[in-house]
Structure 1
Amino acid sequence: MRYKHLFFDLDHTIWDFDKNAEETLHELYHTYKLHDLGLHSANQFIETYTQNNHQLWADYHLGKITKQVLRETRFSKTFIDLGISPEHIPRQFEDDYVNICPTKTNLFPKTHETLSYLKNKYSMHVISNGFKESTEMKIHNNGLGIYFDNVIISEVVGINKPDKAIFEHALSLADAHVSESMMIGDSIEADIRGAQNFGMKAIYFNPEGKEAPEDVGHQIKCLSDLTEFL
């Protein structure tokens, strides 16, 4: 099959969410002097936050929680999990994180080289479950806009992956047929299952080599692998 349209996830697939979050949280750890609150390890704080954030995003993908709940919960739960009482949680921590993190520019290896190569062969698009302002900032600050014809953001559309409706909207916007379209993303539930249930082929971006379900056929560890696969 000769594909014509490639649809990419953004966070954890192109934009290295965990690395950018870690960089931001190290800065905020020192800014807020969290050591003085009794949090003696920035790495422990980051590890606890990462676990909480991943679970909350999984719930958000499935529509179990709202954006507001996600943002209100991820740091408050992290602080409480680490023994900080609610009255001592820094009130502006979430706002500072939201303002700083999207300005970070860590991408996965070979991102620009791969997208530049593929741009000459395919029409490319983004389907992101991220939030409008931060998604647009990430794309702008990293010079990614030149590669994509459309950026579909769930907060704008009002539907999250894996709902079939956001894939239908994306293909309609791109004037693409499902048989000539491919989804690339890191989330089995949101990206791979979402695309498969819509009838679209999908490639699992799996840089850490995690064990995947048997029916997830195509996997890549580096974005540059796409140049050989497609």
Structure 2
Amino acid sequence: MMNSNNVKHIFFDLDNTLWDFSANSKVIVEKLFYDFDLPGRGIKNFDQFFLNYKQRNEFLWDAYRYGRKNKEEVRFERFYVTLYDFGIDNRSIAMQMAEYYIQHTRHLKELLPGAIETLQYLNKKYPLHIITNGFNEVQFFKIKNCGLQDFFKTITTAESANSLKPDRKIFETALRDANAFANESIYIGDSPEVDGKGALNAGMQFVWFNYNANENQYGFEKNISNLSQLQTIF
């Protein structure tokens, strides 16, 4: 049973929990779409291109989480395969797009509504931490660029832990780095499968950031649709 009175440490996911990955990613992919003149290469509809890209990216990230793809394959193939969907077989352009995306996306600063205010509130009461599967060269830059770094005592990435969520090892590494006990810690994230099951399996409590107000078919005790709701829990 969830008991917020027992919580001494709060851990956050980053992408689509604090940093608005969906909005920021779309901005960069649209910029990339025109900077690489994809309409001139026969891809006329950005929305369809972005839909394909999202599907390919999600598939590859799932493969990465479970060890079927490595980091470089994800970065490259999400663009190569999307281009191939539209009849473009060009490894060089895909490689350039992959580098463009990494270099540009980390500069964007759009956070989820209520992120700063909620962190300011929680930071007065608890040590805060991040656990993220994102790439080191992107995540640390994003955290600093958005002005989030001063809120967090520790930041655990998949690369530093040599493990990806939902594997319990990354959660155990984060707990050890934070000098925290699992039964006194809570994790807040947007993915039921990656964040929720992983945190619960590691013995932590979990709050599902269900920002799309999806049906709670997973049976999580606590879910929120806006970060500001955390101020009523803690």
Instruction: Please say whether Structure 1 and Structure 2 have the same fold, judged by a TM-score greater than 0.5.
Output: yes
CA distance in 1, matches of 2:8, 2:35: 47
Please give the secondary structure, in 2, of the residue aligned with 1:160: coil
Task: For residue 90 of structure 1, report the CA deviation from its aligned partner.
Answer: 4.6
Q: Which residue of structure 2 aligns with residue 155 of structure 1?
A: 159
**Structure 2 stretches lacking a partner, 5+ long:** none
Instruction: Determine if contact 1:159/1:165 at 8 Å carries over to the other structure.
Output: yes
- CA displacement at 1:46 relative to structure 2: 1.2
Q: For structure 1, which runs of at least 5 residues remain unmatched after alignment?
A: none
- Taking the aligned partners of 1:32 and 1:63, their CA distance within structure 2 comes to 31
Check the 8 A contact 2:132/2:157 in 1, yes or no: yes
Equivalent runs, 1:181-220 vs 2, <5 Å: 181-220=185-224
Distance 1:87 1:4, change over 3 A: closer
Structure 1 match to 2:63: 59
Note the alpha carbon deviations across 1:69-119, whole angstroms, 9 max, x for none.
211210111111123233684541110111001111111001101100110
1:164 to 2:160 alignment = no
Matched letter for residue 143 of structure 2: I
One-letter code aligned to 2:155: V
Residue of structure 1 aligned with 2:150, choices 115, 137, 146? 146
The equivalent residue for 1:81 is 85
State the match for 1:111 in structure 2: 115
**Pairwise mapping of residues 2-21 of structure 1 onto structure 2 (< 5 A)?**
2=5, 3-21=7-25
Checking the alignment, whether the CA contact within 8 Å between 1:79 and 1:89 is kept in structure 2 is no
The letter for the 2-side match of 1:40 is K
TM-score scaled by structure 2? 0.94
Q: Indicate whether 1:177 and 2:181 are aligned.
A: yes
CA distance in 2, matches of 1:54, 1:130: 13
2:46 pairs with 1:42 = yes
Identity of aligned residues (%): 38
Partners in 2 of 1:90 and 1:56 — Cα distance?
A: 15
